């Protein structure tokens, strides 16, 4: 097999990290594994395995025919047989297929607002799906949506998986007291509900003033970001809540925390929760998307209702007050994550599925 992953950027995000994860893992499993960033590079560039063939397309506009020709040359030169297009990069993949019909496309859907799928309409995606050989959905709701909306009958659910990346030689200074740090890994977007986390920190600091909250994720420097930082100032939480932006390898950082939190209003299957589990952190997360499929009971973590301040505060207080519970819960989640969301278990099934796609080549040959 000769497969390339296509993603629009390498800025840290769920879809972007999964594109890198697939490229890295496949580089050890198949004949050729490539990764193409179409529009923008970013911090994830440092996490690409040396065995992966990396190509920056440098696409400058939505329909960039020169970039499509560059991509076509790359695919032909490396005898690539399949493109795995992540999120919105499907459009670039379809454009190159029109000029290079023998290439096959798998679209990987990472859409994170699973609660509003009935409002999700995308005619460009719908028409493009005629060219797809298969669709990967990261949760069961997305799978049902693809089966009912897209013109591609071969839809498969593969959950996100975590890969413990090699350490990056980067000195990183954390605020707060060792052994009393709470982490949240989420880009600064409204759906991640950092407002609730800041309100929680405001309550927690009254009873546990030494415990601090540390927020990692891309800062888009927009009105939402400004509002969050102003809220921290208004509540005088500058010594309790800290913003760090993005880092090269979040795994290196997570090892230094004691509790992981994700207060989202909507999710698919968040990598953050899986990464917390990989690093044995006890977790408090909201009951959205497929989080309850990872935290299946109180043995593995604490699940609270979305946007419920009292429940979130109470759950964090419970973990703060019970160190043994934190340790045991983190260990159990780590075992569960390794068993069900490790790269080995998912990639094995993924490769078996790709082998089965040979029965779906009739439509592709029609355009050859």
What is the model's pLDDT at position 360? Answer: 40
What is the model's pLDDT at position 72? Answer: 97
| Helix pair angle (309-321, 194-207), 10° resolution | 50
Closest CA to 135 of 348, 319, 357: 357
Q: What is the DSSP letter of 210?
A: T
Do residues 139 and 269 make contact, with C-beta atoms less than 8 angstroms apart? yes
Query: Hey, what domains does the chain have and what are their CATH numbers?
Result: 2-161+343-367 (3.40.50.2000), 181-340 (3.40.50.2000)
What is the model's pLDDT at position 315? Answer: 99
What is the model's pLDDT at position 34? Answer: 98
Q: What is the DSSP letter of 253?
A: H
C-alpha torsion sign, points 34, 37, 43, 44? negative
The H or E element spanning position 286 is: strand 283-286
Do residues 260 and 183 make contact, with C-beta atoms less than 8 angstroms apart? yes
What is the model's pLDDT at position 3? Answer: 97
pLDDT digits (tens, 9 = 90+) for 150-167: 999 999 999 999 886 655
What is the model's pLDDT at position 249? Answer: 80
What is the model's pLDDT at position 135? Answer: 98
The H or E element spanning position 51 is: none
DSSP-assigned beta bridge partners for residue 86: 108
Find the DSSP H helices in 101-193: 123-128, 140-149
Name the burial class of residue 217, with classes exposed (0-12), middle (13-18) and buried (19+) by CB atoms within 10 angstroms of its CB: buried
In angstroms, the CA 306 to CA 314 distance is: 14
* 124 CA to centre of own chain: 23
Q: What are phi and psi of 108, to 5 degrees?
A: -110, 110
Do residues 85 and 116 make contact, with C-beta atoms less than 8 angstroms apart? no
Which residues of the chain carry a pLDDT beneath 50? 169, 359-368
Do residues 65 and 91 make contact, with C-beta atoms less than 8 angstroms apart? no
Instruction: Give the gyration radius of the chain's Cα atoms.
Output: 21
In angstroms, the CA 20 to CA 27 distance is: 11
Structure tokens at 353: 């599925």
Give me the residue label for tokens 């043994």.
Answer: 324
Verdict on whether the full-model pTM lies above 0.85: yes
Structure tokens at 3: 């497969």
Q: Which long-range contacts link 304-308 to residues 24+ away (Cβ below 8 Å)? A: 306/193, 306/264, 306/265, 307/193, 307/196, 307/265
Find the DSSP H helices in the chain: 14-26, 65-77, 90-99, 123-128, 140-149, 194-207, 223-234, 250-254, 271-278, 291-294, 309-321, 323-340, 343-356, 362-367
């Amino acid at each position: 097999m000769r497969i390339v992953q296509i993603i629009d950027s390498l800025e840290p995000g769920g879809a972007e990290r999964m594109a890198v994860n697939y490229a890295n893992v496949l580089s050890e499993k198949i004949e050729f594994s490539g990764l193409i960033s179409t529009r923008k590079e970013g911090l994830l560039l440092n996490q690409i395995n040396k065995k992966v063939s990396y190509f920056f397309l440098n696409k400058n506009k939505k329909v960039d025919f020169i970039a499509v020709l560059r991509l076509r040359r790359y695919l032909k030169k490396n005898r690539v047989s399949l493109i795995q297009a992540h999120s919105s990069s499907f459009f670039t993949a379809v454009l190159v297929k029109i000029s290079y019909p023998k290439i096959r496309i798998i679209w990987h859907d990472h859409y994170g607002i699973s609660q509003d799928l009935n409002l999700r309409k995308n005619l460009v995606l719908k028409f493009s799906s005629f060219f797809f050989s298969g669709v990967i959905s990261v949760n069961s709701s997305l799978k049902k949506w693809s089966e009912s909306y897209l013109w591609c009958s071969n839809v498969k659910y593969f959950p996100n998986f975590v890969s413990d990346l090699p350490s990056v030689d980067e000195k990183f200074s954390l605020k707060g007291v060792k052994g009393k740090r709470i982490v949240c890994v989420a880009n600064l977007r409204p759906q991640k509900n950092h407002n609730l986390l800041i309100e929680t920190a405001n309550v927690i600091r009254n009873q546990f003033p030494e415990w601090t909250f540390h927020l990692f994720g891309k800062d888009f420097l927009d009105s939402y970001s400004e509002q969050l930082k102003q809220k921290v100032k208004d509540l005088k939480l500058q010594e309790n809540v800290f913003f760090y932006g993005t880092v090269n390898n979040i795994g290196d950082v997570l090892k230094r925390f004691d509790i992981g939190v994700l207060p989202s209003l909507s999710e698919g299957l968040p990598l953050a929760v899986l990464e917390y589990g990989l690093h044995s952190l006890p977790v408090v997360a909201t009951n959205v998307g497929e989080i309850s499929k990872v935290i299946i009971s109180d043995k593995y973590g604490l699940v609270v209702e979305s946007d419920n301040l009292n429940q979130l505060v109470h759950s964090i207080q419970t973990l703060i007050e019970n160190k043994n519970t934190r340790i045991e819960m983190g260990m159990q989640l780590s075992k569960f994550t390794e068993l069900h969301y490790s790269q080995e278990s998912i990639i094995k099934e993924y490769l078996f599925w790709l082998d089965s796609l040979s029965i779906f080549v009739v439509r592709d040959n029609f355009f050859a």
